[in-house]
Amino acid sequence: MLITGLAVGAVLGFVMQRGRFCVTGFLRDIFTQWTWRGVTALLVVIAVHAVGLTALMSAGVIDPVVSDFAPLAVIIGGFVFGLGIVLAGGCASGTWYRSGEGLVGSWIALAMYALSSAAMNYGPLSGMNDWLGGFTVGATTVPETLGVSPWVFVLLVVAVTVVLVRRFVLQDRAVPKPATLAPTKTGLAHILTEKPWHFYVTAAVIGVIGVIAWPLSAATGRNSGLGITTPSADLASWLTTANPANWNWGVLLVLGILVGSFIAAKVSGEFRVRVPDGRQAVRSVVGGVMMGVGAVWAGGCTVGNGMVQTSLFSYQGWVAIVAIALGVGAAAKIWLKPDQPYNPQDDGPSRRVDGDLAPAAAEIPGGTRTSGSAVLTAPVVNASALGVVGSSPADKGSLTDLGNGRWKMDTLGAVCPFPLIEAKDAMKRINVGEELVIEFDCTQATDALPRWAATDGHEVTQFETAGDAGWVIAVKRGA
């Protein structure tokens, strides 16, 4: 029966990769985009989970055990975890499935996350966990405290979710449809490997997977459903000690996520080994450690707390997701900035070039634009993840002039949300009617960039692949 963990994980990894499902991004958008559109997808998961798990409990199929609420551990741990997932470039499940896309930064964060969570659960840091989690209050779930049926809260969450989904779907229909890549496949192959998956549909599928996961996991003696932190810690412990007690359904679940996301990335042409720069590598290390420590303190990550415990209406789950969101918000204010933000008081757009201001000839993926015989050489924007203002002024904050009102911005190697952050900043530097040509290899940006262009009234004049896990999009600035 353990093999069912691998199967469930593989399906989950495939779905998450194809749906670009990123809880870190959903929470981050509250503070950077001022929208709850993404968080509504998380509510869809919770609502589907709540219906399914409550039905299974009512039928006596599963019997979840919810621990007493440890407020200090949950709040502090959730906040630390929120800081860490921004540094690492993704939450626990996101780090697993992005590792399957070939992101070496995610490999680093994943290793540190697994090791630190193992140290907190079973190793020399376990005393920290026992100390902070030692203060508890005699409360487990809200329905139990109020003495009402959990179905009351299930119906409430479903009603709120339906209202929000309807609102944002109508809102999406009110703006021009975002540009998409030209299809190269047909039928089921196109739907599964090319067509963008709407994240509300993706969220509903993830919720169903979570419901199925619990009885399959319980059949092996593991009374839990989807979870990332403890299985990651168990995997690290098993790899270092070969203790058979650490080899369980949850371990196969997370390994399945890696397998499923790799398959999804390969068949969709989105797998390529991508090595981060030194700064992002360091932040992946720090972020991974913070993720492991914070998740163990909080009793779970954005899956264990944010999707499962919330659907059980435990105090731990709902307080943890709020604490995680606050950590993400604090991290967004500190780190999520363009390397050299545009200053409208500067003397004109930042278009620093080396050499003569002659007509340019430049080749970009998808075609060549030539005007005259001279070639402009210029520093290229290289938006690295979690940049700090002024960190490397020699090669930051400038655009390459392609001629004829076209400017190139290179964000190759930058992780979400930096292609979008840098694109928004760069768009302020060019004139209305001019084009910004963006080269990127961040999978999530295939949705974020065209959606931004449509929402902000810019025109996408080019959007195509440039090899495996590489894309180019040209956006003409609107009024």
Cβ atoms of residues 327 and 295 within 8 Å? no
Query: Residues 114, 22: one domain?
Result: yes
416 catalytically annotated: yes
- pLDDT recorded at residue 410: 86
- pLDDT recorded at residue 382: 38
- pLDDT recorded at residue 58: 96
- pLDDT recorded at residue 346: 55
- pLDDT recorded at residue 412: 85
Q: How many CA atoms lie within 13 A of 309 on its CB side?
A: 27
CATH number, residue 372:
3.30.110.40
Residue 219 CA: distances (Å) to CA of 59, 62, 116, 205, 249 = 16, 10, 29, 22, 10
In angstroms, rounded to a whole number, what is the distance separating the alpha carbons of residues 206 and 183?
Answer: 25
Structural domain includes residue 445: yes
In angstroms, rounded to a whole number, what is the distance separating the alpha carbons of residues 82 and 69?
Answer: 19
Give residues with Cβ within 8 angstroms of 122, minimum separation 6: 233, 237
Structural domain includes residue 352: no
Query: Residues 259, 373: one domain?
Result: no
- pLDDT recorded at residue 128: 85
Domain housing 384: 361-476
Residue where a domain stops, chosen among 284, 301, 335: 335
pLDDT tens digits, 10-35: 999 999 999 999 999 999 999 988 99
Region for residue 147 given its phi and psi (left: phi exceeds 0; alpha: psi -120 to 50; beta: otherwise): left
- pLDDT recorded at residue 339: 62
In angstroms, rounded to a whole number, what is the distance separating the alpha carbons of residues 251 and 224?
Answer: 13
The count of structural domains within the chain is: 2
In angstroms, rounded to a whole number, what is the distance separating the alpha carbons of residues 335 and 392?
Answer: 15
For the chain, residues with pLDDT lower than 50 are: 347-396
Structural domain includes residue 228: yes
Query: Residues 127, 32: one domain?
Result: yes
Q: Is the peptide bond before 417 cis (omega within 30 degrees of 0)?
A: yes
- pLDDT recorded at residue 130: 85
Choose the catalytic residue: 22, 91, 301, 416. Answer: 416
Structural domain includes residue 201: yes
- pLDDT recorded at residue 143: 97
Query: Residues 233, 378: one domain?
Result: no
- pLDDT recorded at residue 107: 96
